[in-house]
Chain A
Amino acid sequence: MLSNGRGMRWAAALGMAAIVATACGGDDGGAGTDGGTDGGGGQTVTLLHAIGGEAEQEALQQALDLFEQETGNTVEAEYTDDFATTLGIRIDGNNPPDVAFYPQPGALKGSVDSGAAVSFDEAGVETSDLAPGVLEAGTFDGTAYGVVVKQALSSLLWYKLPEFEDAGGSVPESWEDMMSVTDTIAGSGTTPWCIGIESGGATGWVATNWIEDAMLRLHGGPVYDQWTTGELAFDSPEVREAFELVGEIFFTEEYVLGGATGIINTPFGDAAAPMFQDPPACVMHRQAGFIEGNFEGELGTDYGLTLLPPVDGRGGAVFSGDLAAIHTDNAAAAELVSFLTTKEAQEAWHGHEGSGSLSVSSAFDSSVYPSESLAQQGELLAGVDLARFDGSDLMPSAVGGAAFFTELVAWLNGQDLDTTLQNIDAAWPSE
């Protein structure tokens, strides 16, 4: 059969035609990664991000569309739900995205150390007026490599109305206040707190936020910075104090729904649901703004919102977000990053209907936010001078993405505090 000359000739011809067609057709999809070095419109910027959710992506697109209109450049945005792996593969494969939105500064530091990230000075990025802590989060050894362009406030205390007040609670002005409110509510027969940290392979991250809030309030900015950069060990009096402060709530059986077992086994997304049962099984919940999407009812009527209170007069905010960083010498990439920090871009993005994030621009007008809750969060954030990025995201991923989580889970499951702190320290990479 193979030696049937005529059949094989046709097959060969077809094969050649197919190869030629594929070669010509392949060009369409390949553009975009070889951006030229002269700006002035017409450039393509590739963007890799981990911002999921239809509403959020639509909101981001508003800012990108505005950029395209104003500069004539094109942005090719690519979403990935496994940012670390995708970015790692792209960088290792010598095909990095021009701009990437890092969900963790620790990951950005990794790129800086390996030489993949370009500093803002070198790229020519100019940032506009920014909220506290936002540029610092992307600055390493005094050089800026990334800037937060979208943030979420983590240190929020949500409470159920009117049951919270009926049970004797009032909006706490201080941490001590919050503990006595907790006690009062527990005494009235209702369980005060709902806490859930289960999250599959990342179980434990919610608890790290509690510890970070405690650290910031107990010891202030500089000590927090020492802690997240590894200068201050976990097994130290300061960090121990933070763990013990938080432990007062976690380990008191009557304070938390389900006790410590409940904390470990309740998925973080479901954790607040008992607040909306009839009658509510708990009335207080600490979580970032996104959790409101799971709430029922209205802000002000069915639930209230405040910032986690200060300790001894020192208040602060822990936020998380995405940092924009540059990997190539594409001039349009620097233009995009600069643009995204402007009031205009921020308002188009975070003011868009359905967006749930907060702006990083200090000139931002809170009334532009699409919801009352975001406006209130914006006000709370604006009223705070001490703000730091989520600590576990600042630490190297061996700690902040692994050991910190797993040891907290072990601690809640009965492991003693000493072993917990020492294990986390042991996981800190030695280089």
Chain B
Amino acid sequence: MKLITALLAIVVGVGGIVIFFWLLNTLVERLLPDRMRETARPWVFIGPAVAIVGLYLLFPAIDTVRRSFMGARSTEFTGIENYDYLVTNQAIRSTIWNNVLWIIVVPAVSVAIGLAVAVLADKLRPKWENTAKSMIFLPMAISFVGASTIWGFIYAWRAQGQPQIGLLNAIWTGLGGEPIAWLNNSSYNDFLLMAIMIWLQAGFAMVLLSAAIKSVPNDTIEAARIDGATEVQIFWRVVVPQIRSTIVVVGTTILILVLKVFDIVLVMTGGNFGTDVVANRFITELISNRHNGRAAVIVVFLIVVTIPFMISNIRRFREQEATR
């Protein structure tokens, strides 16, 4: 019975939408005078989608901002108390600092690796180029939680004398050292977690940058070669300036993703040992602490921080489209 219901749901869902738009189109044709028809038609088609997005995105966003000014159960107005908490609480400040580290390191390193692979693979024969690129791109197919589980087995620790199931410790003890609890050391465990994200995102950076590199007009490179430039000079002075906007777009896309990261931290350390990030803190506040106000203020913070990057991203994208 459930299977039939599911199938019917699909038929009704898809068929219903088709019929809905067909009806709207007919209404536009039948009811509106000629002049208005063509201006109205795009609105009629975009309208329902915009309305739904408005309802499911805008409304909760505004409600979240409202809740950020209220108490734990969203019953009383508390003014800027939650914002104050965000700024003064020591744990949250170190969390925000962790996010800053993530924002600085991950996009930069992902783009660097992606660019390096794109450039180097470009010089290979096509078959090898595709193999190399596929291997770098493969991790993108893995979910964050899946990747965290995999890397868990790289960083795993077992007591001295016990069989080492973690790759790093297996190598380390094989070389004669005592097993190190990599993720417990707060001076570098952030970077170990970032490595996971870089592993996931470098492929994405590589694909986009590779396309950008290939679209650099060959004449410019030839001209530089004739003028006597070395390959390295060609790369930095001819190629990179021409793909600058792609680099920025890739960088900001990864950056926006980095701001959302929580699953890696949750699975690997649970936020312990000084690795907590803001998005993970949101979950702690909402589900463990059941404090709607503080959870909301964290979300508002994330939105506010993301907005400038989104704006810049969209601007760059428009520029790119305009020059096509």
Contact = CB atoms under 8 A, between A and B. Distances in A.
B60 to A, nearest CB: 14
Interface in A247-276: 257-258, 261-262, 264-266, 274
B160 A258 contact: yes
Contact of B5 (A12, A26, A265, A431): A26
Contacts of A274: 159, 162
Interface size, B (range): 35 or more
B49 interface: no
B161 interface: yes
Contact of A2 (B22, B71, B184): B22
Nearest to A413: B184
A2 B284 contact: no
A131 interface: no
A282 to B, nearest CB: 9
B289 A398 contact: yes
A406 B272 contact: yes
A14 interface: yes
A281 B160 CA distance: 11
Contact of A265 (B11, B71, B72, B184): B184
Contacts of A25: 1, 4-5, 8
B2 A29 contact: yes
Interface string A379-423: 000000000000000001110011000100110010000000000
Contacts of B266: 200-201
Given A262-B159, A398-B290, A410-B272, A429 B1 contact: no
Interface stretch (B12-20, B215-223, B303-311): B12-20
A15 B64 CA distance: 38
A430 B28 CA distance: 58
Contacts of A410: 272-273
Nearest to A19: B12
A113 to B, nearest CB: 9
B181 to A, nearest CB: 5
Q: Which of B8, B22, B25 has the most CB of A within 10 A?
A: B8
Contacts of A402: 284, 288-289
Contacts of B72: 429, 431
Contact of A14 (B15, B22, B273, B291): B15
A15 B12 contact: yes
Contacts of A179: none
Given A18-B8, A22-B9, A409-B272, A257 B289 contact: no
Contacts of B16: 15, 19
Contact of B270 (A28, A85, A201): A201
A431 B73 CA distance: 10
A11 interface: yes
A203 interface: yes
B271 interface: yes
A275 B134 CA distance: 45
A84 B289 CA distance: 12
A417 B73 CA distance: 32
A21 interface: yes
Contact of B15 (A11, A21, A201, A265): A11
B27 interface: no
A410 B270 CA distance: 12
Interface in B222-251: none
A200 B270 contact: yes
B256 interface: no
A22 B181 contact: no
Interface string B279-303: 0000010011111000000000000
B102 interface: no
B157 interface: yes
A12 B267 CA distance: 50
A110 interface: yes
A13 to B, nearest CB: 11
Contacts of B25: 2
A25 B1 CA distance: 8
Given A258-B160, A398-B288, A264 B184 contact: yes
A55 interface: no
A429 B5 contact: no
Contacts of B8: 18, 21-22, 25
B162 A85 contact: no
Contacts of B284: 402
A22 B290 contact: no
26 contacts: A2-B22, A2-B25, A8-B22, A14-B15, A15-B11, A15-B12, A15-B16, A21-B8, A25-B5, A29-B2, A114-B73, A200-B270, A201-B270, A261-B157, A261-B184, A262-B159, A266-B159, A274-B162, A281-B161, A396-B290, A398-B289, A401-B288, A402-B284, A406-B271, A427-B289, A429-B290
Interface of B: 1-2, 4-5, 8-9, 11-12, 15-16, 18-19, 22, 25, 71-73, 156-162, 181, 183-184, 266-267, 270-273, 284, 287-291
Cβ-closest 7 pairs across A and B:
A258-B159, A398-B289, A402-B288, A201-B270, A265-B157, A22-B8, A15-B15
Interface of A: 2, 8, 11-12, 14-15, 18-19, 21-22, 25-26, 28-29, 84-85, 110, 114, 200-203, 257-258, 261-262, 264-266, 274, 281, 396-398, 401-402, 406, 409-410, 413, 427, 429, 431
